[in-house]
Structure 1
């Protein structure tokens, strides 16, 4: 078996997840990608030269555990976990359906907990001083009324990250989160095509541009590396300065 550590990245068929996988490979990890998009994750894994591209719905607890079982059986214990998979499901607050709220909660928060707990047990049982990075958002701190469940779960991820970091510190397992701002991914395609919407985004971003997925991936790779050996329980916001702004231009 190769001595290179294994990283698992969820929601990695495209965008931020795929960028995280690329950055981790450059950091020396062998990487497994997972995503609910079966064809997309296979294509992404092949294009990247990753170990595998596995299909998994992070809202289905049995699928999460089975996917991690498969990674361990085929490649060995996981040294780095990146919980990137997430959904938003926008809607009007007054008519927002509980079914949608529960679905977002299941993927964005419960699935994160299940994966963290499962991988942390593997790390402890194998004496691995590993790293876990969860994908939060600036919406852990600021809210958008049309995505109430998303905002709630990203705030929950921030706190879950702190709780896990405290619980796992005695095992030298570090747990951190990253909170992206406006990032140039497929999810921003509609904004990119709308000059007025883009103007609004830029007006609240001091660096006067949207971020690139690679800029998130590089921060994730840093947090998984020995360079971040004394960092745990933190959420690092990669937002071009937006959260520090108390007005718009």
Structure 2
């Protein structure tokens, strides 16, 4: 049996990048997956790539809106299934130095990357506690550990995800619900590959393993945290960084 056979999982920001890799890995390990993304066209394309309706379903979801998240979870449970796994992955960047960053750019990143994770964690926890089990995985970032110049908004939000994860884990542990976080470092995606070569080379020089990570390497850690192999882990933070900033 695959380690997630019979499980139902929801992945926000699941139509592209790391989120799509997470959805694919969960499906490969037996889960039925519902993806949410703000781009409906991307959702439709991703569902086809993931194997169609037998493997995945999707819906538009703005994680800043509690009603959108509830609708996504309703879709996951529309056939009476339990909500077994919630992956709060959706995120955005609005990089600028603090001097040049606008309040709107700061607020946008906090709203999506921190409040969105809080809304997703709260909604999933309310359903999982009724079943007495479940795994919530929140995607943070190495930026939340060390802080990155030009990312005061993003670094603050991703550090907040760690604090949120630990606090929620303490609230939910006695109910059988686990909450853990993953902090990716430099992962090869279209977004990171579009950065200036000088910035890419600088980041590469900081990685002891000498290469960027691949989306499936983040997804594998998420799948581990989603399944019973990690049944005694909660409130933990897992760095997927190639050893960068140990």
User: Scaled by the length of structure 2, what TM-score is found?
Assistant: 0.92
Q: How does 1:102-117 map to 2 (within 5 A)?
A: 102-117=107-122
Structure 2 unaligned spans of 5+: none
Which residue of 2 is the match for residue 37 of structure 1?
39
Which residue of 2 is the match for residue 200 of structure 1?
202
Q: How does 1:74-113 map to 2 (within 5 A)?
A: 74=79, 76-113=81-118
- Structure 2: distance between partners of 1:189 and 1:53: 27
Which residue of 2 is the match for residue 47 of structure 1?
49
- Note the C-alpha offset of 1:93: 0.7
- Note the C-alpha offset of 1:74: 4.7
Which residue of 2 is the match for residue 247 of structure 1?
none
Which residue of 2 is the match for residue 182 of structure 1?
186
- Structure 1: distance between partners of 2:175 and 2:223: 20
The alignment status of 1:135 with 2:139, answered yes or no, reads yes
Which residue of 2 is the match for residue 162 of structure 1?
166
| Root-mean-square deviation over aligned CA pairs | 1.5
- Structure 2: distance between partners of 1:96 and 1:62: 30
Q: How does 1:204-219 map to 2 (within 5 A)?
A: 204-219=206-221
User: Scaled by the length of structure 1, what TM-score is found?
Assistant: 0.91
In the alignment of these two chains, the number of paired residues is 239
**235, 238, 243: which is aligned to 1:236?**
238
Which residue of 2 is the match for residue 14 of structure 1?
16
Kept after mapping to 1: 8 A contact 2:165/2:180: yes
Range that drifts further, 227-236 or 88-97 = 88-97
Kept after mapping to 2: 8 A contact 1:78/1:123: yes
- Structure 1: distance between partners of 2:78 and 2:28: 24
What whole-Å deviation, never above 9, does each CA across 1:161-201 have from its counterpart, x for those lacking one? Answer: 0011111100111110000000001211223xx54333212
Structure 1 unaligned spans of 5+: 245-249
More helix by share: 1
